[in-house]
Chains A and B, each alone.
Chain A
Amino acid sequence: MVDSAFIIEKSVVIVVVFAITMIMAMYSTWAERKVAAFLQDRVGPNRAGWGGLLQPLADGLKLFSKEEFFPNTPNKFLFVVGPAIAMSTALMTSAVIPWGDRLHLFGRDILLQATDINIALLYFFGVVSVGVYGIMIGGWASNNKFSLMGAVRAASQMVSYEVAMGLSMIALLMMTGTLSLKEISEQQAGMNWNVFYQPLSFLIFLICAFAETNRTPFDLAECESELIGGYHTEYSSMKMGFYLFAEYANMFISATIISVLFFGGYNYPGMQWMVENVGVNAANILGIAVLFAKICFWIFFYMWVRWTIPRFRYDQLMNLGWRILIPLSIANIIVTGIVILRHDLAAFLGF
């Protein structure tokens, strides 16, 4: 049973989510430069518009007007497909994120989510893993040793940290008992944020999120001093722009996932009271604002860490991933299991 109102409603939600993701990614580039500047006692871009607010537009215009350069590669098709995959996967993940509970407009309840599937978290992990292909294909198709090195580094790093990321999630999922991000958000109503129950899981997830998005201190894939630019060395014009944009879109999405999984999503203390006394719409618009405040903090945190911690060496990176984070998350799963089953265990042991 699909009626036209439903299709329109979902289309509007999807377009809005898409636009917001793009705008957030765009202004992340501006924020990155501003935060970098402020942390280094500078003022950053301030010529294009007030406080440099038009800088992302100017950058986009510049990238569009640049020459499209193709390296001498036999894989012209793959060379174009690489950035396309990187961009699409970065945008696809936003489909399952609950941006708010519901709005009551035109006599309908509008869910503020593109789709509420019951395997949302699995979908998220799946799409993020496909993101490796964008980088790997781009690096391979460039027909350049440095690009390939960067791509290999990025791919092996992302694959390794996905394991730890997935395992850290399992402990959380054992507690929530659901993969739907909407239900996970609803369970955290009030101040029942998951971060208070699963701090270790959160820490592992955070570190892995840094590695997944190829951000400092794990930006070995594009370390300028060794690999020129890594996998996007040979890219120019908007294809280069797509890679950079995908990186910021990924950052936005992972900041969102952190906020939703661990910091209560759109929930804020007193939301129930607001729904009952002020109205559904006002309460939920405040909820969206709260979610975005959380997201902005985490994006800021990404940038903050970038200008604090130096880059890891490659063996240190692999050590951290395989020999520390994975055993730690497995231990976390066991401890969580024991705590969940403590009554059964006590009964079994005869207390």
Chain B
Amino acid sequence: MSIETISLSGRKKVVSNKEMTFWERLYLVAIVKGLFITIKHFFKKKATIHYPEQVREMSPVYRGQHMLKRDEQGRENCTACGLCALSCPAEAITMKAAERKADEKHLYREEKYAEIYEINMLRCIFCGLCEEACPKDAIYLTQSKVLVPSSYEREDFIFGKDRLVMPLEMAIKNAQLNNAN
């Protein structure tokens, strides 16, 4: 078989410059055929999702915004080891570690904690590698469907601990649920 006749996709078509017949040159037949194609679409089911009323179904492995976890006693899990920042392919994560004081035992689980923890949401690609790298189960990509809000300032897209750490009420509620089970 010569190379010209091979068609891997099976849809190969040879371009031809054959003369059009009289009926083809009138174009009327082609126009009527086209009209039938378009009218078929008129009665087709529409692909539109009416957004505020209808919401697109999300995949079960959907990865939303990050959250820094607290344990059942409400202490932050993160120990500022830096593995998440190391694993981040987009270099979106940065942090500064600090030593836990004696009177902060109820705030942080480990002896070392993240004093500053920032994720640049303009860089983040929501791959979830930080979640996989974390040895302390501290960072998770939630199923939250809230998207990063738009803003005029680049600084607004750098999320600090104030927007990343799990709210205390949520931690308390989780602890209660765990006890109930």
Q: How far is the CB of A47 from chain B (nearest CB, A)?
A: 10
Smallest CB gap from B31: residue in A? A309
Per-residue B-contact encoding for A294-315, CB less than 8 Å = 1, 0 else: 0000000000110111000000
Count of chain B residues with Cβ under 8 Å from any Cβ of A? Answer: 13
What is the count of residue pairs linking A and B with beta-carbon distances less than 8 angstroms? 33
> Is A276 part of the binding interface, using a Cβ–Cβ cutoff of 8 Å?
no
Contact B38 A308 (CB under 8 A): yes
Is there an interface contact between A308 and B48, defined as CB atoms closer than 8 Å?
no
Q: Which residue of B lies closest to A38 (CB)?
A: B42
- Which residues of A lie under 8 Å from residue B101 when comparing CB positions? none
Q: How far is the CA of A165 from the CA of B41 in the complex (A)?
A: 32
Residue contact B41 to A40, C-beta cutoff 8 Å: yes
Binary contact track B26-37/A, C-beta < 8 Å → 1, others 0: 000001001101
Chain A residues near B35: list those with CB within 8 A: 304-305, 308
Is the C-beta of A42 less than 8 angstroms from some C-beta in chain B? yes
- Interface residue B147 (Cβ < 8 Å from any Cβ of A): no
Chain A residues with CB below 8 A from B42, complex form: 35, 38-39
Interface residue B56 (Cβ < 8 Å from any Cβ of A): no
Contacts of B46 in A (CB 8 A): 38, 41-43
Residue B47 interfacial (CB < 8 Å): yes
A46 interfacial contact with B, CB 8 Å: yes
Contact B31 A41 (CB under 8 A): no
**Chain A residues near B50 (CB-CB < 8 A):** 43, 46
Complex interface residues of chain B between 1 and 51 (CB less than 8 A to chain A): 31, 34-35, 37-39, 41-42, 44, 46-48, 50
Inter-chain contact B38/A41, CB cutoff 8 Å? no
Q: How far is the CA of A39 from the CA of B41 in the complex (A)?
A: 5
Residues of chain A at interface, number, CB under 8 A: 13
Mark out the residues of chain A between 12 and 50 whose CB falls within 8 Å of any chain B CB in the assembled complex: 35, 38-43, 46
Write the chain A residue with the least CB distance to B46. A43
Within the complex, the shortest CB–CB distance from A206 to chain B, in Å, comes to 11
In chain A, positions 280-326 with a C-beta closer than 8 Å to chain B are: 304-305, 307-309
B48 CB contacts on chain A under 8 angstroms: 42-43
Does the CB pair B47–A39 fall under 8 Å?
no
Q: Which residues of A contact B39 (CB under 8 A)?
A: 39, 304
B116 to chain A, nearest CB (A): 45
Q: A43-B46, A43-B48, A46-B50 are in contact. Are A38 and B41 (CB under 8 A)?
A: yes
The minimal Cβ–Cβ distance linking A302 to chain B, given in whole angstroms, is 12
- Which residues from chain B contact A304 at a C-beta distance below 8 Å? 35, 38-39
Bound together, the chains give a CA A39 to CA B31 distance in angstroms of 15
21 CB-based A-B contacts, threshold 8 Å = A35-B42, A38-B41, A38-B46, A39-B39, A39-B42, A40-B41, A41-B41, A41-B44, A41-B46, A42-B46, A42-B47, A43-B48, A43-B50, A46-B50, A304-B35, A304-B38, A305-B31, A305-B35, A308-B35, A309-B31, A309-B34
Residues of chain B at the chain A interface (Cβ within 8 Å): 31, 34-35, 37-39, 41-42, 44, 46-48, 50
Instruction: Report A's interface with B, CB cutoff 8 A.
Output: 35, 38-43, 46, 304-305, 307-309
- Nearest 4 pairs of A and B residues by beta carbon: A308-B34, A308-B38, A43-B48, A38-B42
Given A39-B39, A42-B46, A309-B34, 13 more pairs with CB closer than 8 A: A38-B41, A38-B42, A38-B46, A39-B38, A41-B41, A41-B46, A43-B46, A43-B48, A304-B35, A305-B35, A308-B31, A308-B34, A309-B31
